Amino acid sequence: MERRVLGRTGLHISPLVFGGNVFGWTVDQPTAFSLLDRFIDAGLNAIDTADVYSKWVPGNRGGESETIIGNWLKADSSRRERVFLITKVGSPLGEDKKGLSRRRIVQAVEDSLSRLQTDHIDLYLSHFPDPEIPIEETLRAYELLIRDGKVRAIGASNYDAEQLEDALATALTKGLPRYEVLQPEYNLYDRDAFEGPLRDLCLEQGLGVITYYSLASGFLSGKYRTRADLGKSARGSAVEKYLDARGMRIIDALEAVAANHEASAAEVALAWLIAQEGVTAPIASATTEAQLDSLVRATQLELTAANMAQLDTASAFSEEEPA
């Protein structure tokens, strides 16, 4: 399996990242172990999680996903050297456990390392910008973690172009570690937030880009065409916003391209992302072995220029539709 250089980090990751947000939510530990084994046996290596996953599940407190991944790593010590671990800090876990202050980051990394049962995190992300904390304080906290070998590289999720540019400028002027990776929401339906100034900045500065919601909460799999379909999964409520004329055009184009390649709509949607300028790898989740095998096939699917143009045209806004 090919490896892609992650921005200027010198680190290499597979062209697709496993989304660990499902662990402790729609995927229990035994199933997670099976899926992760199948993932790395296919030659893929990157796993994305966060300290807050999956706090939204009744009875959960956050940290469930990291705990499951850590138990999987502990079960076979050889796994750690085959895995690129990504996790995040900053989302609220309690009144005194939120944000990107130095105190919070220094404590949160220890908690994540403990749950993951490892001595280092390959990529540590600021989950959301924190307007209450100066970016210099945040970067100085990361400087300590990198110096101590607890973190290899840092990145930012959900930053817009202005916020990212400010962080990069602060790192440069203060001689601090900079964000080397951006994790934006980006898929065939949700294009505007990343394409434009944000992507231009990432390309100019040589940042790696790892996209989330790569399948638009499962909408781009093609299994949701009407509101009656929303009950097909736990994520159905997040899909309703895609059920418009443009969404249907995208699904029709995905299925047309998929038919020409004997592939699924989801595989085509991921292959489109993998081929995008500036994208290092998309994140996608799986809850079954069949879905995991589909993710692997997506990394092997090569779309033609005509395929890409067809998908781009279908996902463009018409004059009658709001941008």
Question: pLDDT digits over 256-303, tens only?
Answer: 999 999 999 999 999 999 999 999 999 999 999 999 999 999 999 999
Nearest residue to 130 via CA among 161, 175, 167, 84? 167
Nearest residue to 271 via CA among 296, 306, 239? 296
Percent of the chain with pLDDT over 70: 96
Predicted confidence band of residue 318 (pLDDT cuts 50, 70, 90): low
* pLDDT tens, position by position, 21-77: 999 999 999 999 999 999 999 999 999 999 999 999 999 999 999 999 999 999 999
At residue 230, the pLDDT reads 73
Predicted confidence band of residue 118 (pLDDT cuts 50, 70, 90): very high
To the question of pTM greater than 0.75 for the whole model, the response is: yes
CATH of domain 4-219+269-302: 3.20.20.100
* pLDDT tens, position by position, 234-255: 666 789 999 999 999 999 999 9
| CA 86 – CA 33 distance, rounded (Å) | 17
Our answer to whether residue 124 is catalytic in this structure is no
Q: 3-state SS string over 253-275? A: HHHHHHHHHCCCHHHHHHHHHHC
- Domain extent listing, the chain: 4-219+269-302
Residue 226 has pLDDT above 90, yes or no: no
Residue 124 near residue 84 (C-beta atoms within 8 A): no
Percent of the chain with pLDDT over 90: 91
Mean pLDDT along residues 67-91: 97
At residue 233, the pLDDT reads 67
* pLDDT tens, position by position, 94-117: 888 999 999 999 999 999 999 999
Q: Nearest 5°: CA angle at 255, between 251 and 260?
A: 150
